[in-house]
A and B are shown apart, each in its own frame.
Chain A
């Protein structure tokens, strides 16, 4: 199975700053079948990005995804207070579907 390793484990930033979250796969992710989700406490995850770089419906353009092969990045250009949450990457190119362990984005 493809293991996804997210870094850093925790990222401490201030509103207005830029956030860069990394997701590294143990094998090539076929066709860039890589998604990013945001999860706030007590809530279900929300799809942000699919196909490595496509924003899901209703997702603000401050969120962007990039990468291919084994290295992927989620960038939040200018943090808003509501962006502080846990972020997960997911690969769906090869069975079984797998998720990264998450990056916690906290207010500095």
Chain B
């Protein structure tokens, strides 16, 4: 059974940093591109970032470019988030795939507030 389990969310002050993790199991992680998608409270879905199968290709939404860094290692996906802003407050989902997403984690909540 495919499972994606996010962790690392929490409350952080504006300008702070967080590192999200997504532990993958039930499939061959190295064979799939992976992505992060976020959802602000009560709002719709927003693409954040994606990483290619080998990790050599990384892609970002304009809103996070230069502040967020996606990476992968063994069976885990990461999202390093720096210079956080109030508008980054959202549930962050890890998803399997680089374009459409056939499996999603349950998400981890990031709250940016003073």
User: Across the interface, which residues of A come within 8 angstroms of B103, CB to CB?
Assistant: 47
Which residues of B58-114 are within 8 A (CB) of A? 59, 61-62, 93, 99-107
Instruction: Output the least CB separation between A46 and chain B (Å).
Output: 7
How large, as a class, is the contact surface on chain B?
10 to 19
Question: In whole angstroms, what is the CA distance A99 to B46 when docked?
Answer: 7
Cβ of B11 within 8 Å of any chain A Cβ, yes or no, is no
Q: Write the chain B residue with the least CB distance to A86.
A: B44
Cβ of A56 within 8 Å of any chain B Cβ, yes or no, is yes
Count residues of A near B (Cβ-Cβ below 8 Å).
Answer: 23
Instruction: Output the least CB separation between B64 and chain A (Å).
Output: 11
* In contact, B45 and A37 (Cβ under 8 angstroms): yes
- Which residue in B61, B102, B104, B107 is a CB contact (below 8 Å) of A96? B61
* In contact, B44 and A100 (Cβ under 8 angstroms): yes
Contact code string B15-47 (vs A, CB < 8 Å = 1, else 0): 000000000000000000000010000001111
Of the candidates B50, B61, B101, B105, the one having the most CB atoms from chain A within 10 angstroms of its own CB is: B101
Cβ of A84 within 8 Å of any chain B Cβ, yes or no, is no
* In contact, A33 and B46 (Cβ under 8 angstroms): no
- Which residue in B47, B102, B105 is a CB contact (below 8 Å) of A98? B47
Instruction: Output the least CB separation between B74 and chain A (Å).
Output: 23
Interface residues, chain B, with chain A CB atoms under 8 Å away: 37, 44-47, 50, 59, 61-62, 93, 99-107
A-B contact pairs, 8 of them (CB 8 A): A35-B101, A37-B101, A44-B104, A44-B106, A46-B104, A56-B102, A97-B50, A99-B47
